[in-house]
Amino acid sequence: MTISGFVFRNAFRNKRRLLLSVTSVAVSLFLLVTLQVALRELTNPINDEGSSLRIIVRNKVSLAMPLPARQLATLERIPGIAAVSPFSFYGGLYKGDEKFTSFAQFAVDPARVDLLISDARAPKEQLDAWKADRTSCIVGKMTADRYGLKIGDRMQFTSQLYPADLEFKVAGIYAGTADDRNVMFHQKYLDEALGNPGTVGTWWVRAASIEEAPLVTQRINDAFANTSAQVRAESERAFVLGFISMLGDVKTLISGISIVVVFALLLVTVSTMSMAIRERFRELAILKAIGFRRRELFAFILAESFGLAMLGAVIGAGGAYWLFHTVDIQKLSNGLFVIFEVTPRMMGLAFSVAALLAVLAALAPILSVARTSVVQGLKTLD
């Protein structure tokens, strides 16, 4: 029998324990990879060239407080601003949703929004139809595909924020942005439904260049510093991260859960290897007696531990990679995530954790074998 065959047969001696051990490692590493991907997607929102130019201007006191529509004239005079539009979050529930709709709806000025979302692609006739009909909207392709929407369909929303339920006609479907989920409609339509209050939720601004963007942000803040409606201007990425921060310290929470998962996995693997080696003390003593050196016995134990851990890693981490590159994560997460990418760094982390656990799990059995003499080992009962 070869050395590798000897290690292989020892590992498969107790098939039930092997199955449970590998399954524990696989499930734990699958969960670890999932948590790391979720953490990355939540704390690193999409940041393409278009979003780097866009700036959100909100009320400095609270996002829930509207801004006066008359601010538009001041914003248009600020140097470095290429385009500006109202940007009011509607927050409606669509098509039977009871608590949460997976896509956002924003009231904008269609005549001004072209430069703001220059990366969006939609046929010109659809955009013209949207601009001409104030009761119409344009829909992101992801949302259109999910709900089977087509040009001319009606979308009914029940508002959670405003005392006005709205119905839109789908005039166009856009694609090409980093997040093709949103619905955009006319700010004037919302104003009419609310009795023309003369307010907007936020302003959506596009800087003339990436170099100008920080300067534009400061100019906007300064322009309204001594007014009754002071503002806070921030990049689109910072604005999204501000929303995420409302959920609490997500990074600490997920990191803490990941540590607990790894610690629980360590306990399982150490216990499994300790039981497996304890059953074979007599065999190891015989190997010592016939001339096998300690380092060779240590290598047998480490190889078995490493093999079990790597098999679990292949199943768990590999399964996560395959699953998240195969399924529709937007549908699976009810729209919470647009993408769910398992990066090579995450795969490396999973296999590194498995390798470290294999070494740590083998330490206790190795120390026991080192302290046990041949005579003591032969006296050990199976």
Q: Which residue has the higher pLDDT, 156 or 13?
A: 156
pLDDT confidence of residue 91: 85
Q: What are the strands, taking DSSP E only, across 51-135?
A: 54-59, 67-68, 81-86, 88-89, 92-94, 105-108
For residue range 308-363, what is the model confidence (pLDDT) as tens digits?
A: 888 888 999 999 989 888 877 766 666 566 677 888 888 998 899 888 888 887 77
Domain segments of the chain as ranges:
3-45+248-379, 49-245
pTM tops 0.75, yes or no: no
Q: Which pLDDT band, with edges at 50, 70 and 90, does 14 fall under?
A: low
**Strand-pair category, 154-159 with 92-94:** antiparallel
Q: Which residue has the higher pLDDT, 249 or 320?
A: 320
For residue range 187-228, what is the model confidence (pLDDT) as tens digits?
A: 999 999 999 999 999 999 999 888 888 899 999 999 999 888
DSSP state of 170: E
Question: Token pair 């909207």 is at which residue?
Answer: 137
Write the single-letter amino acid at 122. Answer: A
